[in-house]
């Protein structure tokens, strides 16, 4: 049984079609972004653009949607592999780039919804300030916690 057939137990075909057409931009593929992406795909969302510049490190494996054999890979590449295992028919754009004031608007201009899942407070602020005026839905969250050098 494929994912779309399984989801029809919970959602109508019309609902799945509507969800499948939403263009979701995800800024960050770490603890928040990787897990949000997996949950979105498992919920029927099929059109994602994910932007992150980082690589998978051993310390990511306890809380991010990656596996030991993916250590060293770019996070967007590894996440893309994992998401396509859930739903091979994804429309998935993976961009390995750091989000800056110069490129933020362009990177997510076609997204209907933006999930802000980055670590740095300054980039969080940049994304919210950039997208709230557009009237598009922005979902901002914080996964920053711990001791020592957390922002």
Q: What is the pLDDT of residues 75-115, one digit of tens each?
A: 999 999 999 999 999 999 999 999 999 999 999 999 999 99
- Reference 68, options 36, 39, 81, 60; nearest CA is 60
Residues contacting 62, CB < 8 A, separation 6+: none
Give the residue, 108 or 147, on which the prediction is more confident: 108
Say what the pLDDT of residue 67 is: 98
| 15-140 CATH, one of 3.60.21.10, 3.40.605.10, 3.40.50.720, 3.30.420.40 | 3.40.50.720
Domain spans, the chain: 15-140
Side-chain-side CA neighbours of residue 70 (13 Å): 19
- On the question of pLDDT at 149 being above 60, the answer is no
Tens of pLDDT, residues 41-65: 999 999 999 999 999 999 999 999 9
Place of tokens 């996964």: 143
Gap between the Cα atoms of 4 and 11, Å rounded: 10
> CA–CA separation, 130 vs 30, rounded Å?
21
Give the residues across from 42 on adjacent strands. none
């Amino acid at each position: 049984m494929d994912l779309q057939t399984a989801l029809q137990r919970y959602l109508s075909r019309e609902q799945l079609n509507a969800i499948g057409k939403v263009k979701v931009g995800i800024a960050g593929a770490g603890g928040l972004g990787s897990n949000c992406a997996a949950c979105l795909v498992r919920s029927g969302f099929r059109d994602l653009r994910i932007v992150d510049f980082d690589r998978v490190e051993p310390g990511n494996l306890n809380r991010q949607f990656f596996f030991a054999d993916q250590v060293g890979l770019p996070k967007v590449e590894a996440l893309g592999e994992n998401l396509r295992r859930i739903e091979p028919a994804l429309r998935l754009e993976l961009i390995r780039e750091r989000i800056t004031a110069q490129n933020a608007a362009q990177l997510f201009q076609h997204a209907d919804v933006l999930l802000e899942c980055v670590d740095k407070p300054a980039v969080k602020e940049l994304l919210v300030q950039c997208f709230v005026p557009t009237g598009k839905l922005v979902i901002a969250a914080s996964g920053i916690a711990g001791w020592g050098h957390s922002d």
